[in-house]
Chains A and B, each alone.
Chain A
Amino acid sequence: MTSVALLAALPLVITDIYYQHVLVICLVYVVLGQAWNLVGGYAGQWSLGHAAFFGLGAYTSTLLLLRLNVTPWLGMVAGGLTAAAVACVIAFPCFRLRTHYFAMATLAIGETLRVLFLAFDWTGGASGLVLPVQRIPSSVDMLWASKLPYFYVILTMAVVVTLLIAQVERSRVGIYLRAINQDEDAAARLGIEPRRYKLLALAGSAFVTGVTGTFYAQYTTYIDPFSVMPSMLSVRIVLVPVFGGLGTGAGPIIGAFTLIPLSELTRVTWGGRGIGIDQVVYGAIIVWLTIWMPGGVMALVRRRRGVSGPRRRDPVATPEAGVTAT
């Protein structure tokens, strides 16, 4: 709680717009990482197509706003529902596949959607869509000139999603998801229908990712398939919980607040050379960190604490611990 309060007060101290921007992006990735963790970390279904859900959320709310003047606050829900609906359709063929075959299938579907959105006329094609920036500032249209309102919206989302997923983890569904992750066949032998729970996890994950897509569209006020649907975005989403700790509540928080500043740092330091050296350095650092702490930061923390006996079930320690740590 205190760490959330501290975080909430942070932009009042950090008045530099660039650093406020980094903070917002960190929180965007906290939400995306938590959402992906639900299906990838807990249920063990490695989706590499989450950029598609993100893009669907962004396009749904933006098109609703531009064409029908629907407020993005509702568009957000519509975006989430669209992403979840598409997830349900995708799940049909994809959940017949397991492990890396599932990952490849989702990657392919994500790319296909991106290419389709590039080709369609009603999505603005390659020229993308510009949000009604002439209305700035307008709380109804979720458009502001300052970064602060955006910061508080995404902070609220991050806290709600983190608490919600911590709740799911402790519920019976959480146990089922972890059991399916560990041994799908054994779970099926006990009468559990793995596909039903995997679908639930994917749809929930897609919903949150879609909602975040809407937020991002409102924040950047311009979207095109390259910015909201690239496969690189899917990879970045996966990296956050993988780096922080798969299947842990604190993992995505640690991951986002480490990787995003790191990527910004390398971009600012080496990005101006125009030969992508910043990406090389960023990649090298990730490789080095992964070798140093396989299983993510949380696995390292657990090893240091020597937790191997009784499972820790401290409900307070999970979500906020990461924020304080960073």
Chain B
Amino acid sequence: MLLTVGDVHATYGRFDVLRGISVGVAAGEIVAVLGPNGAGKSTLLKAIAGFLPPRQGSIRLSDEEIAGLRPSALLRKGVVYVMQRSSVFPKLTILENLEMGAYIRPSSPEVKADIDRVLGLFPQLAGRRHQRAEGLSGGERRMLEIGRALLLHPKVLLLDEPTMGLAPLVADLIFEKILELRAAGTTVLMVEQNARLALEVSDRAYVLEQGQVRVEGRGQELLTSDAVRRAYLGGAAPR
């Protein structure tokens, strides 16, 4: 396993959000985390990214314990987190936004080459690199955020609801991009509300409820499992 979360507990104040969660992500996998609101999905990502240090439990990257490290240290180790809400800088140009993404890397020709590579990945952005990000659509902003994260050569890319607020067609596009990233060797752990789509693209998935893992399995299995469908996918018949 590339990333192993073992029996992690985390609290906001006196409120237990994660109550002994164990999750694993192997290199090259796309793993989805599903579950109702308040199940602790986003909190799990925040705990891994270092924004909410776990009260108890271990988080390992390969063989190294990373629980409790500062977010900037985790960024340097390749644990890169893309926020749930939009986090582009609207008044900066697309290029400047990308440069911000490479902040922790010393500026070098390689960074420039990486930026070009990211722009190649998202042709929608490439032609408008000198325009302000405020002119981008919701989907394009998401792509910019993901592209910005890629500049740090993530070992694990943590995506918090990458398709939130996007039109279905745009959401499909984002998922296509995520599949492309995986094909290029990126490991992804994502939280999604859009469970059906998430299960279709992910290798494995965990369903959380009240801060604990309720169900885990392969994406396709969960998609066709009656129990999961009834409980989390709205009970519609499988396609």
Contact = CB atoms under 8 A, between A and B. Distances in A.
B92 interface: yes
A176 interface: yes
Contact of A191 (B83, B89, B104, B130): B104
A309 B131 contact: yes
B81 interface: yes
Contacts, number: 58
A175 B71 contact: no
A182 B92 contact: yes
A311 B91 CA distance: 9
B161 to A, nearest CB: 15
B104 A182 contact: no
A189 interface: yes
A191 B75 contact: yes
Contacts of A182: 89-92
B100 interface: yes
B231 to A, nearest CB: 33
Interface string A156-186: 0000000000000000100110110011011
Given A190-B104, A311-B130, A311-B131, A175 B72 contact: no
B71 A188 contact: yes
B132 interface: yes
Contacts of B56: none
Contacts of A309: 131, 135
Interface in B191-239: none
Nearest to A179: B89
A179 B76 CA distance: 20
Contacts of B140: none
Contact of A178 (B83, B92, B107, B131): B92
B62 interface: no
Interface in A184-198: 185-193
A178 B81 contact: no
B87 interface: yes
A175 B131 contact: no
Contacts of B71: 188-189, 191
Nearest to B132: A311
A272 interface: no
Contacts of A192: 100, 103
Interface of B: 71-72, 75-76, 81, 83, 87-93, 96, 99-101, 103-104, 107, 130-132, 135, 148
The 3 A-B residue pairs with the shortest CB-CB distance in the complex, in nearest-first order: A186-B87, A191-B104, A191-B72
10 contacts: A172-B99, A178-B89, A178-B91, A178-B92, A179-B89, A182-B90, A190-B103, A191-B104, A193-B72, A310-B131
Given A188-B71, A192-B100, A192-B103, 17 more contacts: A172-B99, A176-B103, A178-B91, A182-B89, A182-B91, A183-B87, A183-B89, A186-B88, A190-B75, A190-B100, A190-B103, A191-B76, A309-B135, A310-B131, A311-B93, A311-B130, A311-B132
